[in-house]
Structure 1
Amino acid sequence: MKDILKDTKRRHIPYTKFKAFLGEYGVSQGKLGELLGKSPSAINQNLNGTGGDFTITEIRKICAAFEISADEYFICPGVSKEKQNTA
């Protein structure tokens, strides 16, 4: 059983807050894929951190379509605040 539950190798931190948003509003990964011109499988990998990160262009499309903030769902809050404090 332990072999089945191997740790998944992640390339980046999963977008858990954005995944919750999609679930709350009933937006499927297929629908998000249509918006971005990607397969549901590719979207799943982006969301779970096992594939590449979303591009800036993709994040802009997502934020415009769902009227959400990139800072809230995609940017690491600690990084944003740290940069603001050093500016």
Structure 2
Amino acid sequence: MRALTYLLRLAHSTLPAIIEDREDILLVSVLKATGMIEAKIAPAKGATGCYIRATMAVVMCITDEGRDEIARAHADATRASVRLAS
């Protein structure tokens, strides 16, 4: 759910966006892996070949799949609020 919340936040951001927060970079990698966004993430291997955490990502855009997911989230929220009002 955190990734979807982050996707919604990106939808209200100016893109491309530079991401430097470690937790946000992890969310960017999840959204990229699931096809929700196009992003460039700094290599995860250091000069010695050891794994290192990426220190920066650039979110280029939200894909059609990402926009569809946002639309579904809005529709679900609307249905839930209608049920609460009933």
TM-score (norm 1): 0.29
Q: Which has the higher strand share?
A: 2
TM-score (norm 2): 0.29
Q: Which has the higher helix share?
A: 1
